[in-house]
Amino acid sequence: MNKPPIPPGIIGHNRANLTPHYAIFPPAGIMDSLLPGLKDCILRFMTSPRMGAQFAEAMLLVAPGGGCDAARDDGLQHFFYVLSGELEVTTGRKKEVLEVGMFAYAPAGAKYSFTNRGTAPVRALWVKRPYTAVKGIDAPKPKFGHRDAARREDVDGRWRYWLLGTADMSMDFEMNIMGFGPGTHFHCVETHIMEHGLYMLQGQGLQLLGTDWHEIWEGDFIWMGPYVPQQFYATGWGGAEYLLYKDVNRDVAF
């Protein structure tokens, strides 16, 4: 009896790469997680403290009618950015329906919840982390916004949206959208203390991590630990954008 041929791709080859200092994860290989208290929700964790990161970031998928069973308060601060669909987010006394390109920030200690009251599935990025308080500085307040209404900076064919502002000492992390026109690149190879989480919103490019260049495109996620040499170069016919997490405004811990 003739055996069928081995199907192509049976030996796993992909662009996923995990090192002690950085990681690259295409979306296809990230497995689903279900959490208590979330109805009809799937999470795909792209980074977490188990990897060595000081924050967690996940793709949140919410079916119509799905969401939180009740308001939650886990002591963490949370950031949501909607990629598709409409997600109703409540934090403290504020509530808004987030459409594509909109975001919400829930500070630590504030109850939050989210619900998909629409008819289409929701895809959103969910970042969470503990808050590092500083004596004499008030904690941040809940925030809602749209990328197009955020402060924008343009330099040499590149642009940046400051979604949560910058140099706000009440905040211990920032969420920015970095944009690059075709053929443009970051002006230098960066090496700094900040930890990063990078999610490719659109386009494609080459990302330098350490001494190696990696091809990345829409849907890919990169975790970059502190001090990893890094640079981005946009490739392809169109521009490229990514949503970037980084920790800021806090002294080193000993």
The better pLDDT of the pair 7, 41 is held by 41
223 class by beta-carbon count within 10 Å (0-12 exposed, 13-18 middle, 19+ buried): buried
- Domain of 75, in residue numbers: 17-247
Q: How many domains does the chain have?
A: 1
The two tokens of residue 218 are 């829409």
The two tokens of residue 167 are 């140099």
Q: Residue 93 contacts by C-beta under 8 Å, 6 or more apart in sequence?
A: none
- Per-residue pLDDT at 119: 96
List, in sequence order, every residue forming a beta bridge with 43; answer none if it has no partner. 33, 60
Domain-embedded: residue 88: yes
DSSP 64-79: EEEEESS-B--S-EEE
Domain CATH for 70: 2.60.120.10
Domain-embedded: residue 2: no
Domain-embedded: residue 3: no
Is the per-residue pLDDT at 10 higher than 80? no
Domain-embedded: residue 12: no
- Per-residue pLDDT at 1: 63
Domain-embedded: residue 11: no
The two tokens of residue 170 are 């009440």
User: For 58-82, what is each residue's pLDDT tens digit?
Assistant: 999 999 999 999 999 999 999 999 9
52 class by beta-carbon count within 10 Å (0-12 exposed, 13-18 middle, 19+ buried): middle
- Residue 50's φ and ψ, nearest 5 degrees, are -65, -25
- Per-residue pLDDT at 8: 67
CA distance 77 to 53: 15
Domain-embedded: residue 254: no
CA distance 148 to 102: 9
Q: Residue 188 contacts by C-beta under 8 Å, 6 or more apart in sequence?
A: 231
CA distance 107 to 95: 14
Domain-embedded: residue 66: yes
Neighbours of 183 (CB within 10 A): 11
User: For 149-204, what is each residue's pLDDT tens digit?
Assistant: 999 999 999 999 999 999 999 999 999 999 999 999 999 999 999 999 999 999 99
Domain-embedded: residue 10: no
This prediction has a pTM of 0.95
- Per-residue pLDDT at 236: 85
